[in-house]
Amino acid sequence: MRIAIIGTGYVGLVTGACLAYMGHQVVCVDREASIVTNINNMEPPIYEPGLEEILQQVVSSGFLRATTAIGAAVQGAEVTIIAVGTPLGEAGIDLGQVENAAREIGTALKEKTEYHVVSVKSTVVPTTTDTVVKGILEQFSGKSLGEFGLTMNPEFLREGNAIPDFMYPDRIVIGANDAKSLEVMKRVYAGFEGPIVATNLRTAEMIKYTANALLATLISYANEIAGFCEATGEVDVKDVFAAVALDQRFTPRVGNSIVYPEMLNYLQAGCGYGGSCFPKDLQALQAFAKGKGCSPRLVSAAIETNEEQAERILHRLEGAMGSLKGKKIAVLGLAFKPGTDDVRESPALRIIKGLLARGAEVSATDPIAIEKMKQTLGEQGVSFPENYEAALQGAEGVLLVTPWRQYVEIPGEKYVQLMAYPLVVDCRRVLDKGHLERVGADYIGVGLA
């Protein structure tokens, strides 16, 4: 099929590359000429494992190209996918980019005679597609819904694992206005093996928010329990959840083997969730619910717990070190999780800001996210060495924030050799406490007094 994709961020570019890999003719649209040039040169403007390789294949074979000309892209396509950003505004979700895309798509549809399906893949609150997007498309195309199709097709991609997630989906959710547009979207996904969940437009929108809110709530629940364990003493949150997870309703038995679902990864104490989805989506869902007269108690509690987690960790650091003013503190890991350079709403960002507010001298590093953090935070009061050895040199405390393998595998002796005082704060509970203490380091772990 001929497919146009509006937006070339994580969702748009991964979607375009994977659909092109499956044999569709894809045109990716972006306003930035430099981004379009990079894509056409097979240089992804974002970091995502496997994306560069697949992009080289589909661009060189002619199945994918990029352009700034949205009108021509839509007119040449059978399906247009909206995959632009939906950042959080003051009163909830900011639909500015979605509205702009819908206006331009509608204008292009005015000149088309063949049936065309518009599919919203951007994360939008329920009622957006069938009211805002529909209204704009009808206004600018001069056509009524039915003359063109409208669907809502949410994404469930994890940064750092987006290519496998798209190619081998758990489910493909298609919210459709009618049977005709649903059938067109089924053709888009004809080569994929994941089950198709067909719903109406609003249900598809709600499924996306519900999925993200559930996962984020599990993270906040684990961190709240971790706080209880720290306050109690002689209780390790890892032991607690390891035992809880053995309940067969969490870990079913297959013969003599125990199946550990990936969902359990979200029931692990740490320094909170971050990234481009969970923080934004929970706040958007909270605002949406309040606007409908509902009381989003659990969602609000998950947000509050997450926002407090960095301060709780810094409070424990102060409890061990006293005042942080003038002390060098190292931060290992800036991306919100391994496998990406995305620092949006990263726990490291909250931790660094908290350290700076306390007068600490911060030395922060990451394998791939340093430049993104510099752009987000600036460099005042923070040094960004390229490797962990330089970050640790002379530090009086270190926080392991992003569990990149190279940081998890740092020999305990390195902390003792390089640091002025080897105090290690394990924000992800991935280090060997016993080993660190045996070699002479002090250890603080989330969920362990």
User: Which residue has 């959840």 as its token pair?
Assistant: 241
Structure tokens at 249: 């309703």
Question: What is the sign of the dihedral through the CA atoms of 342, 348, 352 and 354?
Answer: positive
Instruction: Report the chain's C-alpha Rg in angstroms.
Output: 24
Contact 9, 85 (CB under 8 A): yes
Q: How far apart are CA 164 and CA 156, in angstroms?
A: 11
- For 238-259, letters b (16+ CB in 10 Å) and e give bebbeeebeeeebeeeeeeeee
The one catalytic residue in 28, 229, 271, 277 is: 277
How is 61-85 classified by DSSP, letter by letter? Answer: TTSEEEES-HHHHHHT-SEEEE---
Q: For this structure, is 277 an active site residue?
A: yes
Give the single-character DSSP code of 195.
Answer: P
In degrees, rounded to 5, the angle at the alpha carbon of residue 201 between the alpha carbons of residues 196 and 202 is: 115
> CA distances (Å), 191 to each of 64, 69, 77, 171, 429, in order?
17, 28, 19, 13, 40
- For 12-33, letters b (16+ CB in 10 Å) and e give bbbbbbbbbbbebbbbbbbeee
> CA distances (Å), 24 to each of 17, 186, 190, 195, 272, in order?
10, 13, 11, 20, 39
Task: Report the Cα–Cα distance between both ends of the chain, in Å, rounded.
Answer: 58
Q: How far apart are CA 350 and CA 275, in angstroms?
A: 12
In one-letter notation, the amino acid at residue 200 is N
Question: Which of 185, 240, 201, 294 is closest to 449 using CA atoms?
Answer: 240
Q: How far apart are CA 400 and CA 419, in angstroms?
A: 14
In degrees, rounded to 5, the angle at the alpha carbon of residue 446 between the alpha carbons of residues 373 and 442 is: 90
Give the single-character DSSP code of 23.
Answer: T
Q: How far apart are CA 427 and CA 38, in angstroms?
A: 36
Q: Among all residues, which ones are annotated catalytic? A: 277
